[in-house]
Amino acid sequence: MTQKSTDNGRPTVVVTGASAGVGRAIAHEFARHRWNVSVLARGEAGLKGTVRDIERAGGRAQAHQVDVADADAVMRAADETVKEFGGIDVWINVAMVTIYAPVQQTSPDEYKRATEVTYLGQVHGTLAALKHMQSRDAGTIVCIGSALAYRSIPLQSSYCAAKAAVRGFIDSLRSELLHDGSHVRLTMVQLPAVNTPQFDWARTRMPRRLEPVPPIYQPEAIARHVYSAAHTAPRELWIGFPTWKAIIGNMIIPGWIDGYLARHGYRGEMTSQAALEGRPDNLYDPVDTDPGAHGRFDDRSLTTVPAADPRWLKLGIATALGVAFLGALSIARTSETHRRLR
């Protein structure tokens, strides 16, 4: 990536959803490389903690207490970032909310809210980034996705649908930028299960405490790959073998996976512990604490994770399927010819 020097000679990144979890780890990773880091989140306590982390790591910080569902507020944060640091080199859309519940136990208002944050929040961030990147014809926008953007699972229909929508939005925008000859780059990073505080503040109607479907990875392992993706800008980056398995499996045997998730999906998303009654959730308002990047699964989480650009694998799969189809067609035609000759 060609880094554009800003007023203090450092490149600048904007990270939404930066007060905890993956967003917090990403902000810290860029700070370690001495970037200017502008962070957006709703919770005041978490933002303050993130700023401390950035400054201790050697970065320069700017904080914006913003709900990404508010497009005007996101745009103002982008303007203030440019005013403070001179430009935006990378914008990373991370912010999300979810509801753990069967579809018929999820209200229309809850679907609307999850969509406004998890899908439209990425749209708003992308539009704000483009406003400043297009004038310089440079910059990289990274959208944090999930294996669930390809393969939905039970109990998280709002989240899965929003991540799939982000993928559709980015694919359309990518074609438009190519049409315009733009040098602004887009990449989407598809994640596996990560040890974040999400599982203790997501809204839930499940009887037991929530957990990510293992294997689980630490946020810092994800952040290192996101930092790399901001430089190399692959079309997509798939992180972790579970991501590859879910996406490729859904391409090949989606019906079998439907049945597998029907049998095992509910159990895989919950622990054996009873849910905590009355705990706050962050669907409409932040749980204004400073939990850091990690959730409660440190003892089960891996600190390294593989990642790769899937384009060559996709080409190989397409080629293999094409060869198999042509082979089957040839066999069918030969059989038909022999039948007619008899």
Catalytic residue numbers, as ranges: 159
Q: What is the 3-state secondary structure (H, E, C) of the chain?
A: CCCCCCCCCCCEEEEECCCCHHHHHHHHHHHHCCCEEEEEECCHHHHHHHHHHHHHHCCEEEEEECCCCCHHHHHHHHHHHHHHHCCCCEEEECCCCCEECCHHHCCHHHHHHHHHHHHHHHHHHHHHHHHHHHHHCCCEEEEEEEHHHCCCCCCCHHHHHHHHHHHHHHHHHHHHHHHHCCCCEEEEEEECEECCCHHHHCEECCCEEECCCCCEECHHHHHHHHHHHHHHCCCEEEECHHHHHHHHHHHHCHHHHHHHHHHHHHHHCEEEEECCCCCCCCCCCCCCCCCCCCCCCHHHEECCCCEECCHHHHHHHHHHHHHHHHHHHHHHHHHHHHHHHC
Let me know: does 79 contact 73? Beta carbons within 8 Å.
no
Let me know: does 160 contact 109? Beta carbons within 8 Å.
no
Integer Cα distance of 77 and 46 in angstroms: 17
Rounded to 5 degrees, what angle do the CA atoms 237, 82, 37 make? 50
